[in-house]
Structures are given as C-alpha cells and as structure tokens.
Amino acid sequence: MRRHGFRRWLPRRYHNEIRDPARELFLFRKRLWLAGWLMLLMFGALLCRFFYLQVIAHQQYQTQAENNRIAVVPVGPSRGMISDRHGAVLAQSFSAYTLELTPSRIGNLDATLTRLGELVEITPRDLRRFRRAMEESRNFDSLPLRTKLSDEEVARFAVHKYRFPGVDIRARLYRQYPFGETASHVLGYIGRLNDRDIERLTGSGNLLNYKGTDHIGKIGIELSYESALHGIVGFDEVEVDALGRAVRSLTRVPPIPGDHLQLTIDMGLQRLAEQALGTANGAVVAIDPNNGEILAMASMPGFDPNLFVEGIDVASWDRLNTSPDKPLLNRSLRGAYPPGSTVKPFLALAALTSGRRTAENAINDAGYFDLSIGAGKVHRFRDQKNSGHGRVDMHKSIVESCDTYYYILASEIDIDDTARFLSQFDFGQKTGIDLEGEAVGVLASRAWKRERFSGPRYREEHRRWYLGDSVSAGIGQGYNSFTPLQLAHATATLANDGVSFRPHLVKRIIDGTTGQAKELPPEEVRRLELKPAHLTTIKKAMIDVNREGTAARIFKGAPYTSAGKTGTAQVFSLRGEKYIESQIKSHLRDHAWFIVYAPAEKPTIAIAVLVENGGFGARAAAPVARALLDYYLTGKRVAPVPPVGADDSGDWEE
C-alpha cells in the first residue's frame, strides 16, 4: 500500500484497523517501566547530589553556614581622657543614649520622623545633620538622629518602640571638652571618620583598629596622640539572622581602652593667658625652662571644640572659617611674625660669643645709621628715638632697645653667621613640639634668600643678599619671622643658660586599663657653648629692661625679679615716614611682642607674648606676661594692667 503525505512518516500499526489488546498492554507496560527506570535513575542522581553535599563537601558548607550565622561585631574602645598637670579634666568620653534610624528598614521615613518628633524633641539641626549623614552613608547603616537622650526620653521611647521598626536606642561614646574654648588649640578635637581618614588608616594598616570607632582626632593633642588615646578595638561574636540582626552573643574579646594623657598645661595659667589677651588676636606660650614643659599655650580667638565632635553645623563653620580673626588658626604654633626687638638679646649674645663685641664696646647714637649703598649714596636707617640714645653700650642697647646699635652691629656681622647662631635656639626651624602642624617660620640667610626667590618671576638682583637686608634683620625686621612658640622656646633656652629641652605638652601617659602612669622624661635637645660672662651680660640687661627699661612701668612692684625684652614688629612699611599709631588702620598696626623669664636668679617659667596689631610691645604684650608671672610665681591673680592712652606713647618708645 502506498502511503501519502505525512502518513508515510508514521509506523504501520497506526493504520491497522485490527488491534491486539494484549500487545497494546505489553507496549504500555514497556513504556511504563521505562519511565520507572528513568525515575530510578533520577532518584539515583539526587542521591549522588546529597552524598556530595552532605558528605564530600560537608566541611565546606559547614563553614559557610557558620560564617552565615556568626558575625564578628567590632566594639570600639573608649577614648582616653585628657587632663591638665593638676588633674583637671580637659577632654572626656562618656556613654550616652542615641536615637538611631536604619533607613532601609523604615518604609515612610518622613512619617516616622514626624511621629518620633512627638515623642522626643528633634531640632531642625538634628534633622539637617541626619539628612546629611544619610547622603553620605549606605542606606543599611544605622544613623544617629538625636544624641544624648535624657533618661526620660529613653523611657518614653521604649514604651512606643513597637510602633517604630528600624528605630533603635543605642549607647554611644561621646567626647566632651568641659572647658569649651579654653586651650582649644592645644586640645584640638575629634570628628567623625571621613574618607580621607579611612584612606590614611588603610595606608598605615590601622583600619581594622577603627572598625568599631566613629571618631578620630583631627587636630591638636587629639590628633598628635591619636594612637595612645584611641585604644584597641574589641570584638563580639554574635549569632545573627539573615538580616544581620544579632540574636545572641557567643564570645567576646573586650576592647582595650585608650590611654589617658596628663598634659603639662596649667589650666589656671592657660585660662589667665586667654583672659589677659582678651579680645585681642594674639598668642601666649609659657614654658618651664628646666624641662621644656609647656605650661600654657594660648591662641586667641579660640573655638569650642565641642562643636566639631558630631559634625559642625554650616553656620558655625562659616563663622569660624571666614572670620578675619582666624579663630581656627593656632597662632602660637602656626603664626610666624617678625620678632622685632625681641631678637636683640640673641644678636647681642651672638656678637659676644663671636668676639665681635665686648659688653663695653659703645657707639654714639645720633638717632640714625647711614648705610652706604654705593655710588656715594646712603640709605638712612632711623632709630625709634629721633634724638638718639647718646652713648650706648651693649647693656644700654638692650635696656633702651637702641636700634642704631644693632644697625651697626648687623652691618658688621655676616648674615650666615647670625643665622647659624640663631638656629641653635631653634629659630626658623621646628622645635619638635608634640603637636602636629608646627610652622617653621623664616630664619633668613643667603641660601634661604636664593631659595625663596628662585622662581622664574625673580631675577638675580632679587636673590642676592644685600647688606641692607642684614641691617633690617638687626632689629628683627626684614625677612625673619618666628612663631611665638619659637620665641618662648628660645627665651627658655637663654634662661636655662643654653641648655634647651624639647618643648612638649604631655607630661605622662596613664594606661587606660591598669592606671599605671608612664612619665615622659624631659628631652634635652642641645647645650649651647656660651660663656657664663656673656650670659650674665645679656641677662643683667634683660633684668634691667623690667627694672628701669622699656618694661619698667609694667613690672613696677613685682615681688620677684624678671628678665624681659619688648618688641614691636612692623606689619606695614612706612617708607621713612614717622609711625603715628592713631593714624594707622588697626590691622596694619605693629605687632606687640614681649619675652620674659622669671625668677631671674633661678628661672622656672619663660613666656613669649604676641599681640597682633597691639602696637608697642611694652604696652600691649608685657602686661599679659606680668599677669601670668604674678599668678604663676606668687599664686596671686592680678588684674591685668589697664591699657594706656595713646597720648603718652612717647614713654613707650623702644
């Protein structure tokens, strides 16, 4: 039979009209049992799979299940305390309740915030801070909304907690600076870890130690002693569910708290220094000459470090950052100013040491010094006192602060020799203080000038050192600029007969766990080769500055002997015109300097005071030093000497 179309494609039996039930049953059973075998095969395959998963790869999956189940939660250590030399607490950590939100677990965030506001006070500032944190974080993080909840607020929220999934109360560590603005530049502050911090920690391999920490020292002691203050992270092993919520705690490695720091700062002196500076912009550094301990380090104006801990708000930041008074600048550490006449005792000492002068060598001061600048021309350098000081020896040059004496001296001494000598006092270089960000200042020399004016904008005539440069440097003008810390350090070195100690702010480090104190011994930097006779000459002159010289009025009646030197640093070049304070805008007025140490016989404190735009050093800066000395040496708190009117400025000429 011919088959057509698709019929040809089918087996013959489908066209058979005659059927065989027995054969059909047989064929059905064949298919059924074929299916049966296939099913058995599949079950066998499943069995093999189970055997593989549960026997062969069991260990691996066991580990994975444990990794799923067990989470290691870092526990941040509590940050060490900072206190002053007498134990007054300057920075402390405390635990407080925070209201935290996990945005990923909250459906309607705005509604939740509104309802929360009915239970707990939430200020617009809290909200702003929260929104900013949200932008910066991944949304499964838990973010603080309100910090430092009161016990009552905690209780109120606890009752309603069930209404707020994704909102939790957590105990977090806070940093507090009880003295607020006082010593703010020394202490610095901590702030939230940012990307830069994390990058830096990654680089130094310390990131792991910050797993449980939100904050890090940003500036000041908080930054410089970060590693001691921070402590070592601990770990909690907890069983977690798939959403990462802790179900129960398994084991715990407790964190090791950070060490406490006891500073060399005397908070009474520090506070007095800041009060004495008052509204002026300025700096005070007080050092114990016998060991380099910094007793006070003030820079005004200051700031409240508490503002920075949880992230400063925009308005406060703008105020601090854009203020022309630069409250964020630590002037004692980072401000470099021309030293003015305060450099004279050091130059005199240099002259004695080099043998260029004896104490008795005298000049006749007519009120000016003419420097020949070639081709018959002269440049006239004027003394502050028009009529001149008459016969001036070294003692008188310091006591009366005679400029002409130093014009002549400077014109005779090579600037590189001067720089070499002054560098022994750490002028123009880092003192090595244990505080980050120390400025170097400028100690001018030929090499320095060449380097400074090496740019393509300058020509050889700019780079050359002129004798006139030396003459200016002779009265602390010109290129030289030193920080208040450098001047205090140098004064301390002078007071200590040339034995200098590294200035430092931390007296002892106290172990956060055992309470064991580790003293930081004074670190001698160097012993200057100075003849006792030379030192006596200089010191005598400085004692007479306060007794009968430029600062005599301020130190009248002091129950101790002190040795000082006033200084006035020009901000503004008058180009030969007479300086009349009342006619100069306040920000262009001269900076007032005063350096002092006391008691003169056996110094225990050396101070440098700088008052920006304060005018004459004796009037603006010396009273601050007097107040500090009275407090420190007699325990008396003396009201700062009131400023004197501009009319009698003649008395204050240097």
Partner 1 sequence: MSVRDKFFSFWASFTRHIDGPLMAIVLLLSAVGAVVLFSAVAPDTERFIQQMKSIGIAFVVMWIVANIPPHRLSQIALPLYVVGVLALVAVALFGITVNGSQRWLAIGGFRFQPSELLKLAVPLLLAWYFQKFEARLNFGNFLMALLLIALPAWLIRRQPDLGTALLVAVSGFYVLYLARLPWKAMLLMAATAVPLIWLFAHDYQKQRVLAFLDPGADPLRSGYHTLQASIAIGSGGVTGKGWLHGTQAHLDFLPERHTDFIFAVYSEEFGLVGNLVLLALYAALILRALMIANQASSLFGRLLAGTITLMLFTYTAVNMGMVSGILPVVGVPLPFVSYGGTAMLSLFICIGILMSVQTHRKLVET
Report the nearest approach of partner 1 to the CB of residue 237 (Å).
14
Q: Which is it for strands 506-510 and 517-519: parallel, antiparallel or unpaired? A: antiparallel
Beta strands in 293-452 (DSSP E): 294-300, 363-365, 368-372, 378-382, 390-392
Report the nearest approach of partner 1 to the CB of residue 12 (Å).
11
Q: Which of 78, 341, 445, 500 is catalytic?
A: 341
Smallest CA-to-CA distance from 399 within 498, 540, 592, 596 is with 540
- Examine residue 10 and tell whether it contacts partner 1 (CB under 8 A): yes
Cα separation, 437 vs 644, in Å, equals: 36
Q: Which is it for strands 260-263 and 82-83: parallel, antiparallel or unpaired? A: parallel
Report the nearest approach of partner 1 to the CB of residue 14 (Å).
5
- Examine residue 118 and tell whether it contacts partner 1 (CB under 8 A): no
SS3 state of residue 526: strand
Report the nearest approach of partner 1 to the CB of residue 56 (Å).
9
Of 33 and 94, the one with the shorter C-beta distance to partner 1 is 33
* 28 residue type, one letter: F
Identify which range of 10-18, 83-91, 435-443, 570-578 contacts partner 1 by CB under 8 A: 10-18
Of 117 and 166, the one with the shorter C-beta distance to partner 1 is 166
| DSSP secondary structure code for residue 310 in this structure | T
- Examine residue 242 and tell whether it contacts partner 1 (CB under 8 A): yes
Smallest CA-to-CA distance from 299 within 446, 485, 437, 132 is with 485
Identify which range of 6-14, 141-149, 360-368, 601-609 contacts partner 1 by CB under 8 A: 6-14
Rounded to a whole number of angstroms, the CA Rg of the chain reads 39
Number of neighbours of residue 148 by Cβ within 10 angstroms: 14
Cα separation, 54 vs 62, in Å, equals: 9
Among 1, 2, 8, 11, binds partner 1 (CB under 8 A): 11
- Examine residue 461 and tell whether it contacts partner 1 (CB under 8 A): no
Cα separation, 359 vs 102, in Å, equals: 77
Of 28 and 572, the one with the shorter C-beta distance to partner 1 is 28
Of 251 and 323, the one with the shorter C-beta distance to partner 1 is 251
> How far out from the chain centre does Cα 440 lie?
16
Whether 184 is catalytic? no
Among 1, 4, 12, 14, binds partner 1 (CB under 8 A): 14
SS3 state of residue 610: strand
Of 65 and 574, the one with the shorter C-beta distance to partner 1 is 65
Report the nearest approach of partner 1 to the CB of residue 57 (Å).
5
Do the Cβ atoms of 107 and 147 come closer than 8 Å? Answer: no
- Angle, nearest 10°, between helix axes 344-354 and 532-547? 150
- Examine residue 23 and tell whether it contacts partner 1 (CB under 8 A): no
Q: Is 628 exposed, middle or buried (0-12, 13-18, 19+ CB in 10 A)?
A: buried
* Cβ-Cβ contacts under 8 Å for 354 (sequence gap 6 or more): 413, 417, 421
- Examine residue 329 and tell whether it contacts partner 1 (CB under 8 A): no
Smallest CA-to-CA distance from 157 within 102, 198, 202, 98 is with 98
Of 246 and 373, the one with the shorter C-beta distance to partner 1 is 246
Q: Which of the residues 246 through 305 are near partner 1 (CB under 8 A)? A: 247
Q: What track of x and - describes contact with partner 1 for positions 198 through 237 (by CB under 8 A)? A: ----------------------------------------
Q: Which of the residues 472 through 501 are near partner 1 (CB under 8 A)? A: none
- Examine residue 533 and tell whether it contacts partner 1 (CB under 8 A): no
Of 14 and 159, the one with the shorter C-beta distance to partner 1 is 14
CA atoms within 13 A on the CB side of 376: 0
Q: Which is it for strands 378-382 and 294-300: parallel, antiparallel or unpaired? A: unpaired
- Examine residue 22 and tell whether it contacts partner 1 (CB under 8 A): no
Of 84 and 236, the one with the shorter C-beta distance to partner 1 is 236
Q: Does a cis peptide bond (omega within 30 degrees of 0) precede residue 599?
A: yes
- Examine residue 239 and tell whether it contacts partner 1 (CB under 8 A): yes
Report the nearest approach of partner 1 to the CB of residue 32 (Å).
6
Q: Which two tokens stand for residue 191?
A: 């702030």
- Examine residue 37 and tell whether it contacts partner 1 (CB under 8 A): no
Among 3, 20, 29, 646, binds partner 1 (CB under 8 A): 29
Cα separation, 219 vs 253, in Å, equals: 30
Report the nearest approach of partner 1 to the CB of residue 167 (Å).
21
Question: Which residues, in sequence order, are bridge partners of residue 519?
Answer: 508
- Examine residue 159 and tell whether it contacts partner 1 (CB under 8 A): no
Of 54 and 372, the one with the shorter C-beta distance to partner 1 is 54
Q: Which of the residues 40 through 99 are near partner 1 (CB under 8 A)? A: 40, 42-43, 45-47, 49-51, 53-55, 57-58, 60-62, 64-66, 68-69
Do the Cβ atoms of 594 and 654 come closer than 8 Å? Answer: no
Of 37 and 162, the one with the shorter C-beta distance to partner 1 is 37
Do the Cβ atoms of 331 and 301 come closer than 8 Å? Answer: no
Beta strands in 409-497 (DSSP E): none
The site for partner 1, by CB under 8 A, has a size of: 47
Report the nearest approach of partner 1 to the CB of residue 522 (Å).
58
Phi, psi values for residue 573, rounded to 5°: -80, 125
- Chain residues in the site for partner 1 (CB under 8 A): 6-7, 9-11, 14-15, 17, 19, 24, 27-29, 31-33, 35-36, 39-40, 42-43, 45-47, 49-51, 53-55, 57-58, 60-62, 64-66, 68-69, 239-243, 247
Residues with a known catalytic role: 341
